[in-house]
Amino acid sequence: MSETRTPQMRAVSQDTAGGPDVLKVITTDRPVPGPTEILVRVHAAGVNPTDWKTRAQGAFLTGAEAPFTLGFDVSGVVEEVGPGVTVFAPGDRVFGMPRFPHPAGAYAEYVTAPARHFAPLPAGLDHFQGAALPLASLTAWQALVDTANVQPGARVLIHAAAGGVGHLAVQIAKSRGAYVIGTARQAKHDFLRGLGADELVDYTQQDFAETVRDIDVVLDTISGDYGPRSLRTLRPGGTLVSILPLDDSFPAARAREAGIRAGFMLVEPDRAGLRAVADLVNSGKLQVNVDTVLPLEEAAKAHALGETGRTTGKIVLSVAP
């Protein structure tokens, strides 16, 4: 009697932490969905700063050990559903950020994850756009809506406004009726005005902390000295949300004395948030900019490009043929 052969798939793996060259394409067993999980055939995978930090530091958020497969952003089609799944069926187009901060293994032809870590992909999006959305849009949504509760008329300052999180945050803030100020290089100002930004600061030419005032909410996507400098722009009672940990030099006492709420927020898998983002896409209030699409085999090139910090929007890997 012949043995049943486990279906195989291509995936990008690494055996050690290091530079982009540690990423390699391997052949491995295709995963099987467990109870409440779905098997998704990945059409595209988003590339995020979290990816290259994990590659360089070895799953820095979770402490996992190599070998592992990177990737948190998934856009694809449901191939199979596990026991108990009622929200999806084979053939459904989905997008999501499953299992974060544990790597979902999105740099692969198939992934399994809890069904409710996904949402239906908006009908007007292709899989490249779908893969560019989850982590960045959920970060912006959870920071501006769930954490800062941005209201109509609020003055919102967004750092690195043309980046993956930033360009989506500009649009989400505008959808909430905010007045949006962004920091970005001059070459990206027209792009950001097209997304609705009201005011822009070229951080290479002027210090935003000297020119921007009366801010209600700051979204800090950079960290370092941007947090302390941003305190000078905030009104008493304002909110500073950093998507990176605040280091020991952050003047927390000064923030408290000024009545400013400041803290670090880590994005979470969020079906409701994904559906809210999809509603904005469907209503024409949110568009995602895909800067570059590269094949799965060029994951190392995608990381090297991302680490330059000069992309506008998102980098995406094409996975399915």
Distance CA 74, CA 94 (A): 8
Q: Where are the domains of the chain?
A: 8-135+289-318, 148-264
Answer yes or no: is pLDDT of 1 > 60: no
Q: What is the pLDDT of residue 304?
A: 97
- Integer Cα distance of 61 and 40 in angstroms: 24
Q: Is the pTM of this model over 0.75?
A: yes
Tell me if residue 281 falls in helix, strand or coil. helix
Can you name the CATH fold of 8-135+289-318? Quinone Oxidoreductase; Chain A, domain 1 (3.90.180)
User: In the chain, what percentage of residues exceed pLDDT 90?
Assistant: 88
Is residue 220 within 8 A of residue 161, CB to CB? The reply is: no
pLDDT surpassing 60 at residue 2 = no
Place of tokens 């998507």: 243
> Percent of the chain beyond pLDDT 70?
97
CATH topology of domain 148-264: Rossmann fold (3.40.50)
pLDDT per position as a tens digit, 238-267: 999 999 988 888 988 889 998 999 999 999
Look at residue 40 and give its three-state secondary structure.
strand
Helix, strand, coil shares, percent, the chain, to 5: 30, 30, 40
- Please write the tens of the pLDDT for every residue from 153-165: 999 999 999 999 9
Q: Please give the average per-residue pLDDT across 294-309, as a whole number.
A: 96
User: Other C-beta atoms within 10 Å of 162: how many?
Assistant: 26
Region 162-180: mean pLDDT is: 97
Mean pLDDT (the chain) is 94
- Closest C-alpha among 199, 22, 11 to residue 111: 11
pLDDT digits (tens, 9 = 90+) for 200-249: 999 999 999 999 999 999 999 999 999 999 999 999 999 999 999 888 88
Query: Do 59 and 65 meet the contact criterion of CB atoms below 8 Å apart?
Result: yes
